[in-house]
Amino acid sequence: MAVPIAIRDWGRCDYETVAAAMRDFTDTRDTRSADEIWRVEHPAVFTLGQAGRPEHVLERGDIPLVQTDRGGQVTYHGPGQIILYPLVDLRRRRLGARALVTRLEQTVVDWLASQGVSAAPRADAPGVYVDDAKIAALGLRVRRGCSYHGLAVNIAMDLSPFQRINPCGYAGMTVTDLASLGIDCSLATAAEALTDQLLVQLNGA
């Protein structure tokens, strides 16, 4: 039987506020706490993961840089990008961190396929790619057997800030969004469809 998952919409909210709330949620939940998926759009921000190297930030300019506790290197969040944060008790779902990453990647692949876009993950660089261009980034943290942080999917955004960093630590990596592929989709529509796909992935575990 599927374990219930609550959906929480944050709208547009700054990264540090949501990151602090995720940590608090994870630290205070217990075995009876429902899993949740948080949906949010962040104002412009660069985030540097635990293994992040500052030299991958080439030109920060006026965009804030936040050190965070997720895995991975540096990435950019900004308007026009939908973010799904799965706050999931992995032990209860009998999932490991790698399996969750796979399900997050498959969520995006399946949704893009429904839009007529062929995409795939890469073994050497977590995320989802259309040809060689990255359209979705992943970064997780697992604490007390529970996940937080998650998945960012580029819908219709200003992609130029990605040129100020080595995305996820890869110099010269091309980044794209759904709009650049000629597909018009609102952030709200994308959020609902991606959530539905993620629920299928999590409840099918």
181-202 pLDDT, tens digit each: 999 999 999 999 999 999 999 9
Known catalytic membership, residue 168: yes
The whole-angstrom separation of Cα 169 and Cα 75 is 9
Exposed e or buried b for every residue in 112-140, given b needs 16+ CB within 10 A? Answer: beeeebebebeeebbbbbbeebbbbbbbb
Both tokens assigned to 169: 């630590």
pLDDT of residue 199: 95
Average pLDDT, the chain: 94
Catalytic residue among 13, 146, 168, 185: 168
The whole-angstrom separation of Cα 17 and Cα 150 is 15
What is the residue extent of each domain of the chain? 5-203
CB 197 within 8 Å of CB 110:
yes
Annotation: binding site for substrate: 70-77, 137-139, 150-152
CB 102 within 8 Å of CB 198:
no
pLDDT of residue 3: 67
Pick the more confident residue, 123 or 105: 105
The whole-angstrom separation of Cα 199 and Cα 93 is 13
CATH H superfamily, domain 5-203: Bira Bifunctional Protein; Domain 2 (3.30.930.10)
pLDDT of residue 123: 85
141-170 residue pLDDT tens: 999 999 999 999 999 999 999 999 999 888
The whole-angstrom separation of Cα 27 and Cα 48 is 22
CB 21 within 8 Å of CB 82:
no
- Per DSSP, 3 falls in state P
pLDDT of residue 112: 98
pTM: 0.95
33-47 residue pLDDT tens: 999 999 999 999 999
